[in-house]
Structure formats: structure tokens, C-alpha cells
């Protein structure tokens, strides 16, 4: 992983490929790499879909090694949704394969001609060619064509029609171990930027390439052993997530009164039990699917699963908690089959399930359809895939949908939709939503773990006390985790078990021959956040945008009948370290 691949899609005689050493970006991976390149090379005021924006795809620092759960791929650019810097990450096989091919980043630059391109990267090098037969295809059909052409040992990074249409909710899909395009860099419209670069699919083939070798193999192996023991021995990462997936959170968050229901108007959903992780796992097993499944080789948590339809045929991967909430309780829907169908359509069209579900919730509030109308929601998603005028509005995200329909209760920060935790009942996540440079994003500093599950401390979810410090520390740690390429779910174990976090640091040190201590690790996270905030400021997104929409301060949320209590002055303290 000692080189950067650049493809100038706007070169005079067609796409131009070049490779270069890491230079200024040495020591960076994942989110540190994407935010490093974007903040240094992309003009903050450029149009996100124009020639000056760059799409950066970077494996984490430990991807392509034997480290468990190290297969997250970061994708970064200036976001068409938020207008600020963005990093979205995805599981699947792509990160491991790209790292083994030796690339620390792929950078797509420039503005192409009217062709749609596919890129093949293998041990022989890089090939790019126009393939307009891919135009308009869903992710599933796109990947099927790639398997036909290049065999079934590859990994694919692709966009669906939403990306081609440059919608602000468009995602980038990565294939899982079974070559299904089910793992998405979902947030912030990454797919629209890949579409704007004219790239439909990147095929990665690491045949002939070996696992990356650490500088100190013995120390690395020993640290990984402690790491795996920490993950598999933890009650959440070793039991709850493998048994019920991320959807194990439905009952817990609903019980806590923080499950945003019918467009954030209530904190408990009467239909939660029908779509909970426990119910879903039972159904998956009864239909011959799987209640536990890893999205990439080397995952020891396996929070995913396989969802079959009523006839026992594969429909989609196990919809995650966020998806089940966005299309479920947030829209007043408690039908697992309908939600699984929406998940399948989202994956195929290439759209973010959170942004799409929240946009539909806002559309329901705006009177376009009734809360609870599952068929109507499916039809709306199909409109997105078909690119009808209404579909393009919904596919532009919740902020645009709310504006078009005259809705006041629009749960977005920096124009990005809030995920599945109401900040009034879980105040710590509200601090993260408000202040992260990414726009409302639970993964940027998952205070839910501490507020609701008591992981890594005890900070009362309903009170503002301690939430600033909690969110600050989590945002710094998360920026590091995203840069190393670790799946965020490792945090449940690493936050509570010092020896597990220590093993992660030991792996980075022994792999790269470093001697980082806790302060040095924190400094990496701080520098990523500083880069991102500076970019945003130059793009016109400042501290005054680190706020929640007013209704969170004005409308008490049942059942606790509480508002968001953290003050603006306190929010301004998050990045004072």
C-alpha cells in the first residue's frame, strides 16, 4: 500500500491513468487519507459534481492484513448533500482486495465525456474502458455482468441508476463475500460524485497478490490474538451482534424512549417488536436464510445476515437496524417483508437507506402518503430508481423533500438526515449529530453506546451533563478507527476493555514499526477532525451550523416529554481540546 492511483477522467484524449508515491500522504489510511486529500486538493467552494471535486477511495491502514474486522473502505469528496467534506465507509471485500493490490488510494478527478466507464485493477495494472451497456443498470445486474466478464473471485465497487442521475442520496456499493452489492458507502451522495466522474464500476482482482506483511510479524500476530479474544469474548460483539445483528438495538432504543417514530414525533413505536432483531433472526432462520454472516473475510463479529423472501429465495442481506428504523418505525411501518424489499431496492438503485427512509417520513408528514403505507413507500423508492420528477425530489434527500412539501419538522443537520436515535432522549448523540463535520451521523461518535448501554462509562442519556466530553472523545477515537479501517462495531469491546484497545494500537505499531502511545493516537484523530472542519469553514459551513433543528428544543418528545437540553455555548466547546 505504497502508491496512489489517479485517474483523470477529463483528460483530453480520454481517461488518463497515473501512479505516484504517497508523498504528503504517507502514514495515512481510510478517513485520514480521504479527508487529507480532499482538504488539500479540492477547492472548498467548487461544485460537488464539477471537474474540481475529487472522489477518493482508500482502504484503512490495516486493511489487507490478517487483523480481524479490518476491511472498511473509506470514500471521500465534497458532498453534494451537505456541501461540506464527507467520508462514508463501507464493509465488503473491496478494502482488503484494494490494499493487497498495493493502493493506498484511488483518486478520480476531472470531468469526463458522455461515456460510462468501467475500471479493472489487477496484478497486471489498471485498465479503463467505456462500456455504455452498463447505463441505467442496477447494482445487482452490473455486478452480474462483471462476474461474467472477470470471474467470481473479484470485488466490485459500483453505482446504481441514482448515482448515474447524480442524486444527493446516491450511495456507492461494495460487494460482500458472495459478490452481492450489499455494503454501501451510503451517506452524503458519494454515488453522485462517482456518477459525475462517469465511472460505473471498479473491478478489483487480487489474484497473485499476498496478504500484507507487518514489520514485526510476531508482535502483530500476538496483538491480533488479543484483539480477536477481546471481540469474541465481549457480550455485545461476541453474542448480541452475531445473534441478532445491529437490529438488536430496536428493542433497547425503543425501551429507552429514543426510537424516532413517525418522523421524530414520538420516541416509542408500538410496532417495534414486529421488526426487532429477535423477530428478524427467527424469520431468517425459519426461511433458510442466515441470522449471522460476515460482510468480508476476517470479520469475527458477523453482525449481518441473509434475508429470504416468503418462498425461501434470497431477497437481500439482513437489513440493518438503521434501515429497519428508517423504512420502519420512522414511517410507521412494521412489516419486515416490506422493509426488506425496500432494502433490496435501495441497494440495487444505489441509495442511502437512512436518507431515503427519512425523506419518505418527511413526505408522509407532508401529506404525500399516509404513515404506515408500506406499498406507497415502495412505490416512491421505485420512482427514485426510475428518475421521475417526484423520485428525483425524494432522491435529493430529506432537506429538499421538506422544502418542496412545506414541512417544518425536517430532522437534518448540515442537510444530512438524522439516523435512528432521537437526540432528545439520547442527548449525547444529539451533540454528535450537531457538531460532527459530516452532517447528522451516528457513526461519527456513537454516544448511544455509553448513554443507553453503559459501554465505556455512565452518562445519563436524558441529561446534558457530560455529553460534550463524551462526544468529543468518541469523535476523536472514531476518526482513528475509520482511518485504521476497522469496523465501528469493534468500539463496543474496545471502549470497555483497555487491553482490547491496547491490542489495536499494538497492531498499528507492529505493522508499521511505530511507537505510538495514547496521546499520539488521539492526535491523529484530532488532526483528521481539524482538516475536515477547516475545509467546511472555507466551504461556508461554520460553527453556527453545528446546531440541531429548532423543533428539538421546542417540541417535548414522548414518553419522557423532554427536549434537547445541551446549549449552543456547550456545543461550541466540543472541539476545544
Q: Report the interface residues with ligand SF4, using CB under 6 A.
A: 69, 91, 294-296, 299, 301-304, 487, 489
Closer by beta carbon to ligand SF4, 34 or else 93? 93
Residue 513 backbone zone (phi > 0: left; psi -120 to 50: alpha; other: beta): left
Compute the least distance from the CB of residue 296 to ligand SF4, in Å: 6
Question: Which residues share a beta bridge with 201?
Answer: 118, 158
Compute the least distance from the CB of residue 63 to ligand SF4, in Å: 11
Closer by beta carbon to ligand SF4, 307 or else 564? 307
Q: Are 82 and 439 in contact (CB under 8 A)?
A: yes
86 backbone dihedrals φ, ψ, rounded to 5° = -145, 140
Compute the least distance from the CB of residue 184 to ligand SF4, in Å: 11
Specify the pairing of strand 103-109 against strand 85-90: unpaired
Q: Which three cell numbers stand for residue 505?
A: 494500537
Closer by beta carbon to ligand SF4, 46 or else 229? 229
296 backbone dihedrals φ, ψ, rounded to 5° = -150, 160
Closer by beta carbon to ligand SF4, 488 or else 548? 488
CA atoms of 38 and 262, how far apart (whole Å):
37
Closer by beta carbon to ligand SF4, 95 or else 401? 95
Strands annotated E in 346-421: 412-413, 416-417
CA atoms of 155 and 92, how far apart (whole Å):
8
454 Cβ contact list (under 8 Å, min separation 6)? none
Closer by beta carbon to ligand SF4, 397 or else 419? 419
Q: Which three cell numbers stand for residue 70?
A: 479490518
550 Cβ contact list (under 8 Å, min separation 6)? none
Compute the least distance from the CB of residue 281 to ligand SF4, in Å: 14
Q: Closest Cα partner for 89 from 479, 453, 544?
A: 479
Compute the least distance from the CB of residue 491 to ligand SF4, in Å: 11
- CA distances to 98, 317, 318, 394 from 291, rounded to whole Å, are 28, 10, 8, 31
CA atoms of 183 and 201, how far apart (whole Å):
14
Closer by beta carbon to ligand SF4, 80 or else 294? 294
Closer by beta carbon to ligand SF4, 303 or else 468? 303
CA atoms of 109 and 55, how far apart (whole Å):
7
Compute the least distance from the CB of residue 526 to ligand SF4, in Å: 25
Compute the least distance from the CB of residue 246 to ligand SF4, in Å: 7
Compute the least distance from the CB of residue 209 to ligand SF4, in Å: 21
Compute the least distance from the CB of residue 495 to ligand SF4, in Å: 15
Specify the pairing of strand 103-109 against strand 55-59: antiparallel
Q: Largest Cα–Cα distance in the chain?
A: 63
CA atoms of 520 and 332, how far apart (whole Å):
46
Closer by beta carbon to ligand SF4, 97 or else 487? 487
Amino acid at each position: 500500500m505504497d502508491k496512489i492511483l489517479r485517474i483523470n477522467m477529463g483528460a483530453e484524449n480520454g481517461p488518463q491513468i497515473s501512479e505516484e508515491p504517497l508523498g504528503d500522504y504517507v502514514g495515512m489510511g481510510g478517513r485520514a487519507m480521504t479527508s487529507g486529500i480532499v482538504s488539500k486538493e479540492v477547492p472548498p467552494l467548487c461544485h460537488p459534481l464539477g471537474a474540481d471535486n475529487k472522489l477518493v477511495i482508500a482502504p484503512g491502514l490495516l486493511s489487507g492484513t490478517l487483523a480481524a474486522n479490518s476491511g472498511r473502505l473509506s470514500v471521500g469528496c465534497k458532498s453534494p448533500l451537505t456541501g461540506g467534506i464527507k467520508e462514508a465507509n463501507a464493509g465488503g471485500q473491496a478494502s482488503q482486495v484494494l490494499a493487497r493490490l498495493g493502493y493506498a488510494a484511488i483518486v478520480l478527478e476531472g470531468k469526463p465525456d458522455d461515456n460510462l466507464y468501467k475500471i479493472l485493477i489487477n496484478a497486471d495494472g489498471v485498465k479503463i474502458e467505456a462500456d455504455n451497456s452498463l447505463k441505467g443498470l442496477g447494482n445487482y445486474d452490473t455486478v452480474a455482468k462483471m462476474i461474467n466478464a472477470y470471474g467470481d473471485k473479484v470485488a466490485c465497487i459500483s453505482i446504481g441508476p441514482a448515482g448515474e442521475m447524480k442524486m444527493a442520496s446516491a450511495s456507492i456499493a461494495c460487494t460482500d463475500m458472495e459478490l452481492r452489492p450489499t455494503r454501501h458507502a451510503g451517506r452524503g451522495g458519494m454515488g453522485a460524485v462517482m456518477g459525475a466522474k462517469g465511472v460505473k464500476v471498479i473491478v478489483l482482482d487480487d489474484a497473485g497478490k499476498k496478504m500484507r506483511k507487518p514489520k514485526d510479524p510476531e508482535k502483530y500476530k500476538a496483538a491480533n490474538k488479543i484483539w480477536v479474544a477481546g471481540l469474541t469474548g465481549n457480550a455485545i460483539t461476541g453474542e448480541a451482534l452475531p445473534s441478532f445483528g445491529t437490529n438488536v438495538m430496536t428493542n433497547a432504543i425503543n425501551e429507552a424512549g429514543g426510537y424516532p417514530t413517525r418522523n421524530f414525533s414520538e420516541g416509542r413505536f408500538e410496532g417495534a417488536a414486529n421488526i426487532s432483531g429477535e423477530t428478524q433472526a427467527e424469520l431468517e432462520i425459519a426461511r433458510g436464510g442466515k441470522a449471522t454472516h460476515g460482510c468480508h473475510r476476517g470479520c469475527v463479529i458477523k453482525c449481518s445476515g441473509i434475508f429470504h423472501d416468503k418462498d425461501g429465495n434470497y431477497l437481500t442481506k439482513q437489513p440493518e437496524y438503521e434501515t429497519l428504523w428508517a423504512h420502519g418505525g420512522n414511517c410507521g411501518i412494521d412489516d419486515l417483508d416490506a422493509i426488506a424489499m425496500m432494502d433490496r431496492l435501495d441497494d440495487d438503485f444505489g441509495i442511502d437507506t437512512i436518507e431515503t427512509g427519512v425523506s419518505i417520513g418527511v413526505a408522509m408528514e407532508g401529506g404525500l402518503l399516509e404513515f404506515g403505507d408500506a406499498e406507497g413507500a415502495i412505490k416512491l423508492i421505485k420512482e427514485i430508481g426510475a428518475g421521475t420528477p417526484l423520485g428525483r425530489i425524494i432522491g435529493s434527500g430529506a432537506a429538499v423533500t421538506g422544502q418542496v412539501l412545506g414541512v417544518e419538522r425536517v430532522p437534518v443537520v448540515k442537510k444530512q438526515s438524522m439516523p435512528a436515535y432521537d437526540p432528545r432522549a439520547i442527548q449525547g448523540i444529539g451533540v454528535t449529530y450537531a457538531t460532527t463535520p459530516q452532517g447528522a451521523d451516528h457513526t461519527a461518535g456513537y454516544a448511544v453506546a455509553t448513554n443507553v448501554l453503559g459501554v465505556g462509562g455512565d452518562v445519563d442519556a436524558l441529561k446534558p451533563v457530560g455529553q460534550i466530553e463524551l462526544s468529543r472523545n468518541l469523535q476523536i477515537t472514531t476518526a482513528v478507527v475509520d482511518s485504521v479501517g476497522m469496523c465501528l462495531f469493534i468500539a463496543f469491546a474496545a471502549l470497555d476493555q483497555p487491553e482490547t484497545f491496547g491490542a489495536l494500537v499494538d497492531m498499528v505499531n507492529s505493522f508499521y514499526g511505530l511507537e505510538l502511545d495514547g496521546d499520539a493516537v488521539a492526535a491523529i484523530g484530532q488532526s483528521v477532525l481539524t482538516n475536515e472542519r477547516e475545509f467546511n469553514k472555507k466551504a461556508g459551513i461554520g460553527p453556527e451550523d453545528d446546531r440541531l433543528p429548532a423543533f428539538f428544543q421546542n417540541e417535548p418528545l414522548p414518553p419522557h416529554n423532554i427536549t434537547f437540553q445541551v446549549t449552543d455555548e456547550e456545543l461550541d466547546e466540543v472541539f476545544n481540546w
